[in-house]
Amino acid sequence: SRFNSEEERSFLSSVALNLNTTYKDIDKADQVVLIGFEPEDESPIVFLRMYKQVRKRALKVATDAAFASRGSKKLNAQLINSISEISNLTDKSVVIVGERAAEVAGSISAAVAAAAAPRGAPRLGVGKYPSSRGRACAWSRRVAGIFSR
């Protein structure tokens, strides 16, 4: 069984109904931040969307990984050591939180704080992948949340 925390359960139950992020938000993003999420391994559709935008218009990608994976290298992702290093988020930024974030105490709360401050409340889509039609589909265990501003 997968590790989960009270923080994750509380977060998903309080925000999951506000899902409104779509693949188009990734396509239009000026920056994507990956927290506890490796898109090439965990969601090839998300990876391909991001890769297309990296090649097409030099989309900026940052990841909190310990080392640059093959997928991170393909996305020219900047490695960040902690969520507190996330900066320069705009209304077009997207923060994707994977299920591995639940394994580190406080990381989900820190991701929400980074996405929300100080530019006002972000649009949140938590616990679900966007569908190919741009609407939410069923819960996926691989993504704990997708935030777009």
Residue of higher predicted confidence among 112 and 16: 112
With cut-offs at 50, 70 and 90, classify the pLDDT of residue 6: confident
Residue range 40-57: mean pLDDT, rounded = 94
pTM (predicted TM-score): 0.76
| DSSP-derived 3-state class of residue 107 | helix
Residue range 125-139: mean pLDDT, rounded = 36
pLDDT at 9 over 90: no
Q: What is the mean pLDDT of the chain?
A: 74
Residue range 83-112: mean pLDDT, rounded = 81
Two structure tokens written together for 147: 């935030």
The per-residue pLDDT for 140 is 36
* Residues 6/103/147/126 CA torsion (nearest 10 deg): -50
Q: Which long-range contacts (CB under 8 A, 24 or more apart) does 54-57 make?
A: none
